[in-house]
Amino acid sequence: MKFSPISPQKISDSIAIHIEDLILNGLLMPGDKLPAERELAKDLQVSRTSLRDALVKLEARGLLQVRHSGGTLVRDIIGPTLTDQLAVLLDEHPEALLDLLEVREALERIAAYYAAQRATALDREILEQRFAMLNQSTDTGDPGKDAVAIVEYYLAIANASHNIALMHVMRGLYRLMPGSIGGSLSVIYQRPGTYETVHKHRREMHAAIMHGDADAAAVAANAVTLFLRVTFSELITVQPAEAKLQPAGAFSAVDKDALKPARLSDAVVAQIEKLITSGKLRAGDQLPAEKTLADILQVSRSVLRDAVVRLETRGVLNIKQGGGTFVCNVPARTINDPLANLLSSNIEAVFDFLHLRGSLEELCAAYAAERRDQIDLEQLQKSYIDIENGVKAPDPYRDAERITDFHIYLAEASHNVVLVHIMRGLYKLLRTSIRTNLERIQSNAGKYNLVLEHHRDILKAVEEQDVDAAANAASIHIDFINQSISQFGIEQKRLEQSRRRAESMVIENGY
């Protein structure tokens, strides 16, 4: 038989897919209200019954919120990339802005590259408008206005990249950035000539995007953030990076003189939040006993108790009667379940996510090699042994969990708090991506073992603190995954062709 039966798609499924695509591509944004049922059914040229069925499905998937007599709204499926604590950390600690600039360097480079390749005529029109607004804001000399215009411009670049994963990550991150960017600009613009240099690089990036020169756009984007990062680091006094210690050793005495007339408990709250934000205290970690911790912080037990109760009220800590105090699981979420499911089911989005993974994982590996301490190294070595043990009896689901954990530990070893939060936020999608690829290569022992080899190379480079080798090993791994997915698609097509030929031979020959 040369032909296969065609199964017509239900109209409600077609409607759901259409609305999903609008959400996925950013044409429907969180909070947007859908037209009234009658009007939307008319626009889609479908019955109200089919439309109603589609909306019910999308509500069940967490993409829409149907309010009785209040319309249908698009849910926020991006989720906050940064927790409130991290946003405060960026505002209050100038040195933390360097972490943000390091991450921006990776994100803006890939965004500019794909925007140059993929921007439509409408995208270019919007980019021209946003760039004109940026020029107007910079003429005012107000870092705050400049920051807002910068965020709007880079979000337009992200949209023009048509890289779905990148678009959503940048939206989640950049919507919290105006204050942080304004703070860094107020420092950077103190140096004569910096304003002109930054804008020169940005003009070059914009021109490259508009002319479709992807390589030049990436180089210019990198020049902008690299110049900002180097200049900013030279203009502020950066304290040496703190070693990542065990929870009991991560605390330090509260500087009481510097805090008057503020409450001491405020300082205790701030210190614990900072330790959680920076990854030194992780979900499930137990705080030292009350007396021990009060002695370390050099505060009274009543002050400590007040701080702990306040943190419990905020959902940061969990006090177990007679069982100690633990850090709650309150991770940042860059991408939550509904969006993760959408991204993992769209083949173009799968490759887009791999491109994003490549940029972030190279960054993690490079900075981990440069900055890791002994505790980081021991955690990575233990994590690698878990992966190694799993490969002996392949189980894609279990192995994906272990490999994902390895990449989270790698991010923590980078000592970049923004990168840590983004990677934690991507955990579900990262795990799904890894599991899917492992399932595709499970029958090929050689390829499965290559995954182990790649992670061994990353670990070796981190052990030897070879920054270039670490980034290169991470890049090789992502290239391998790209090739594996492409090859899997080709093999599936060949298998289907063989199956149909075999069926045809059976019919024609009567056996």
Q: Give pLDDT tens digits for 454-480.
A: 999 999 999 999 999 999 999 999 999
pTM: 0.74
- Residue 280 binned pLDDT confidence (cut-offs 50, 70, 90): confident
44 token code pair: 């889609």
Provide the 10 A C-beta neighbour count for residue 288: 18
> Helices in 372-466 by DSSP H: which ranges?
374-391, 396-413, 417-425, 427-441, 445-463
How far apart are alpha carbons 450 and 238 in whole angstroms? 40
Half-sphere exposure of 340 (CA within 13 A, CB side): 15
List the domains of the chain with CATH numbers: 11-74 (1.10.10.10), 84-235 (1.20.120.530), 247-278+284-327 (1.10.10.10), 337-496 (1.20.120.530)
pLDDT score of 94: 63
Range with lowest mean pLDDT among 58-72, 85-99, 234-248: 234-248
Kind of pairing between the strands at 324-327 and 317-320:
antiparallel
422 Cβ contact partners less than 8 Å away, ≥ 6 residues apart: 81, 103, 169, 173, 332, 334, 360, 411
Q: Is 283 helix (H, G, I), strand (E, B) or coil?
A: coil
> Containing H/E element for 72?
strand 71-74
What phi and psi, each to the nearest 5 degrees, are found at residue 285? -65, 140
Dmax over Cα atoms in the chain, in whole Å? 94
pLDDT tens across 293-326, in order?
988 988 898 888 888 888 887 777 888 877 789 8
Angle between helices 290-297 and 301-313 (to 10 degrees): 110
Q: Is 157 helix (H, G, I), strand (E, B) or coil?
A: helix
pLDDT tens across 340-392, in order?
666 666 677 788 888 999 999 999 999 999 999 999 999 999 999 999 998 77
36 Cβ contact partners less than 8 Å away, ≥ 6 residues apart: 71
